[in-house]
Chain A
């Protein structure tokens, strides 16, 4: 086995040691259901509420505004579907506006509402990978129920102008709720400040060194949603089901540690990423995707002309370099990226594009390894394994 250079932090991150330690008691003594009234339950309840306070502190909201979820997808679904259904019930709107570069947890949720009589408007993005604010203005109207624009794109890493988005939404659709998927923003940006203009903010633990299957949704005071999971009425009735206390503690710890080290990590990882980008750029036919001046520190996204991304990823994997492209479908095959399509790349160009994503765990050795392997495999593959002509 070659040494592993893990450059896929946007997919997931290793669990931080601090998180593992904080979660450990919940594999043992602290097993209570936080909804109970006795001593065992109270210990769990205390841990849960302390976690909620910590999450609130990092995300810049009140503890009562934090809803623990089963991850980023659930937060996105609950915001879009729950927000739209509540607006419809109140009779003020049936339009959902999402950007063309949203994660499918948002865009598919919006599409799923069409049979319920909702209208979905998709806002264009430019070749820079940034949502088009003029097109957003065209899309929003008084009947808009929900607007969802992500904080940072999961594929090309572009930081979206959320404050400008919010200005337009408030001016043109004052009753609309504004949701932002901050899953990819959380590792790099101060979400409290960056997502402040949004009514709903979803984050996921496993992108920041926390466990998989847990996240949080900030639901600002006064914002009404219809729940997706109903039953015992936990989490202010917005998310029934016994809360994953260990997961909540893991999320809170991951958020805290990430926030504490943010400034240093952004600088250190940004330097690593810049070195990677420069090294890749030295290989002929390596073209960056999107506006590389407006991306988070960990992301690098390039098109490697005349090499199928699928083959490049396999060749890199065989030499221990873990990277990604597009999104995987249920079978594990790569699907041509809707984000790159929205940015104007052809299907063939999208199939030549790969993402390298660094994270808190990235080291100089990872970048060294990638830069040692990449030119060699590109030279070998170039032209031999071009993507199939699109018939």
Chain B
């Protein structure tokens, strides 16, 4: 229970269904002074909602694990020229890793969160992960990495509701989180600039910006400021619109080029996982490379996604989610 409306309603729905519910808030970050997340106010909101629902509530301090498995890798990724997705790391390592394990050890049957996604426990014993009923709020993308091991013990109660329905339910129950605004940014850098956050930890090395032919056309103040596909803030003025097409951390060089230079016909993946089984050879999948991006068609060949049509390059470190229709079948991390 983050103190937001979705997890509040998730808890309420389960309690209303007669489950023996216990609320847990993860304290992931240093506290009120660092950023907008895990503030005392959010924890208090979660605690009050739990009290209104008549369920116990605990705060688990996972700040050390969050630092080690989310924040540090995030900083290292940017320092290596990649574009990480810390929400996926947090889900995999903290929420559906440590917390699920702890919940099971504490004797709970399942862990529920306020994610907008759905799980279908099939008669065949397979638990399938499906996009949310509210397509605009679907969060299945950030659930890449879940497998049968986790899905068998997970529930996403608000996945069947639209966001307005979630708020209405919260309002009807008198939950104080009903009208709370959504958090959008990376929680631990919410009130700060990503570049500032990363550079405060790893510093910044000025380097050069080159064109596709390797000619120096400008200078940069550190590669953490660049992500593949970025257009704004490059700081070079050359006739045509320029995009970042490559970030080379080893030589500290940023390569820019016209939009056509970004196009790729495939994406290589690492850390590839499947929710229950690898898709059949030649199965045409929907390939989604951003939380709310439009999927493209492709097939999985080994650890490579072959796209039906060339598309802008996926920044290394980004999550590539693979769908069969509305079902998330797996995904991985775009390789460098």
- Chain A residues within 8 Å of B, Cβ to Cβ: 308, 310-311, 314-315, 317-318, 329-335, 380-381, 384-385, 387-391
Contact = CB atoms under 8 A, between A and B. Distances in A.
B40 A311 contact: no
A326 B263 CA distance: 56
Contacts of A381: 105-106
Interface of B: 22, 25, 27, 31-32, 38, 40, 43-44, 47, 56, 58-62, 64-65, 67-68, 72, 98, 101-102, 104-107
Given A310-B60, A331-B43, A380-B107, A388 B98 contact: yes
Given A317-B58, A391-B67, 9 more contacts: A318-B22, A331-B27, A331-B44, A332-B25, A333-B27, A333-B60, A380-B105, A380-B107, A385-B101
Contacts of B65: 388-389
Contacts of B102: 308, 311, 384-385
Contact of A391 (B38, B47, B64): B64
A384 B62 contact: no
B42 to A, nearest CB: 8
User: Which of B25, B60, B106 has the most chain A CB atoms inside 10 A of its CB?
Assistant: B106
A330 B32 contact: yes
A331 B106 contact: no
User: Which of A311, A318, A331, A334 has the most chain B CB atoms inside 10 A of its CB?
Assistant: A331
B59 A332 contact: yes
A108 to B, nearest CB: 16
Contacts of A388: 62, 64-65, 68, 98
B56 to A, nearest CB: 7
Nearest to A390: B64
B106 A318 contact: yes
Nearest to A334: B61
Given A315-B106, A384-B105, A391-B67, A331 B58 contact: no
A329 B31 contact: yes
A340 to B, nearest CB: 15
Contacts of A335: 61
A300 B235 CA distance: 64
Contact of B40 (A330, A384, A391): A330
A105 to B, nearest CB: 19
B333 to A, nearest CB: 21
A331 B59 contact: yes
A330 B106 CA distance: 25
A143 to B, nearest CB: 34
Contacts of B31: 329-331
B68 A389 contact: yes
A308 B65 CA distance: 13
B54 to A, nearest CB: 12
B105 A318 contact: no
Contacts of A333: 27, 43, 59-61
User: Which of A311, A315, A332 has the most chain B CB atoms inside 10 A of its CB?
Assistant: A332
Nearest to A313: B58
B27 A384 contact: no
A311 B59 contact: no
A332 to B, nearest CB: 4
Given A331-B59, A388-B65, A314 B106 contact: yes
A120 to B, nearest CB: 22
User: 8 tightest CB-CB pairs across the interface, nearest first?
Assistant: A391-B68, A388-B65, A384-B105, A333-B61, A333-B27, A331-B43, A332-B59, A333-B59
User: Which of B60, B67, B98 has the most chain A CB atoms inside 10 A of its CB?
Assistant: B60
A307 B38 CA distance: 25
30 contacts: A311-B105, A311-B106, A314-B58, A314-B106, A315-B107, A318-B56, A318-B107, A329-B31, A331-B27, A331-B31, A331-B38, A331-B43, A331-B44, A331-B59, A332-B25, A332-B43, A332-B58, A333-B27, A333-B43, A333-B60, A335-B61, A384-B104, A384-B105, A385-B102, A385-B105, A385-B106, A388-B62, A388-B98, A390-B64, A391-B64
Contact of A384 (B59, B64, B68, B101): B101
A330 B40 CA distance: 6
B101 A331 contact: no
B61 A310 contact: yes
A246 B44 CA distance: 30
A10 to B, nearest CB: 20
Nearest to B56: A317
Contacts of B64: 387-391
B27 to A, nearest CB: 4
A152 B261 CA distance: 72
Contacts of B44: 331
User: Which of A308, A390, A391 has the most chain B CB atoms inside 10 A of its CB?
Assistant: A391
Contacts of A389: 64-65, 68
Nearest to B60: A310
A140 B58 CA distance: 43
Nearest to A389: B68
User: Which of A315, A317, A333, A391 has the most chain B CB atoms inside 10 A of its CB?
Assistant: A333
B60 to A, nearest CB: 6
Contacts of B61: 310, 333-335
A4 to B, nearest CB: 13
Nearest to B42: A331
A318 B22 CA distance: 10
Contacts of B105: 311, 380-381, 384-385
Nearest to A317: B56
A381 B105 CA distance: 6
User: Which of B65, B101, B102 has the most chain A CB atoms inside 10 A of its CB?
Assistant: B102
User: Which of B31, B38, B62, B64 has the most chain A CB atoms inside 10 A of its CB?
Assistant: B64
Contacts of B68: 388-389, 391
B41 to A, nearest CB: 9
A310 B98 CA distance: 13
Contacts of A391: 64, 67-68, 72
